[in-house]
Chain A
């Protein structure tokens, strides 16, 4: 077997780096699309929602709004974590087909809930 000369080794490594950076950019790209789509939809859905009103009222009543905000932030982080963990656990339990279907139905349910908020 002809020993591969330096040239071909170099081009091979170059190629693999290219592929790696290509892969990394797609992975980075879709991480940020998931982040921004989640952020935008949940932020819009949450504006004027009951959680924000609860925080608003409590901070207005209490002399120290920042303690109310701290408690609210901790609660929101734990419910988000709980939600994502339940979702992750669900994704391990259900087959991909049923999982996507249940998630689609859940998302449509949220859409309907938001629309009923808009109408009422």
Chain B
């Protein structure tokens, strides 16, 4: 068990993630939803699965991944959530 590598990957990923989109999403969704636990679970499972795919597929992931399409869908998803939030407060 190479603890030096473990610590290195922990710090690298931690710094890469702080202030990244997904962390802002965790802050935004965690603050606005009645179920912060669901947000934490959803975010954690999504991130760990994404990095798991990265480790498994190695370089392969980068080539065939339609990254731009996936990000466009994610952008649409976040837009929906923002509108839902604003729309819900309007109608209350």
Contacts and interface: CB of A to CB of B under 8 A. Distances in A.
Is chain B a partner of chain A in the same complex?
yes
A100 B10 contact: no
A103 B13 contact: no
Contacts, number: 302
B72 A114 contact: yes
Interface residues of B, number: 76
Interface of B: 1-2, 5-14, 16-18, 20-55, 57-59, 61-62, 65, 67-68, 70-79, 81-83, 85-86, 88-89
A38 B43 contact: yes
Given A53-B62, A88-B36, A111-B78, 15 more contacts: A34-B35, A36-B42, A42-B47, A46-B21, A71-B5, A74-B10, A75-B12, A76-B17, A76-B44, A80-B43, A83-B26, A83-B27, A87-B32, A104-B85, A114-B78
Interface residues of A, number: 77
A interface majority secondary structure: helix
A88 B78 CA distance: 19
Contacts of A56: 54-55, 57-59, 61-62
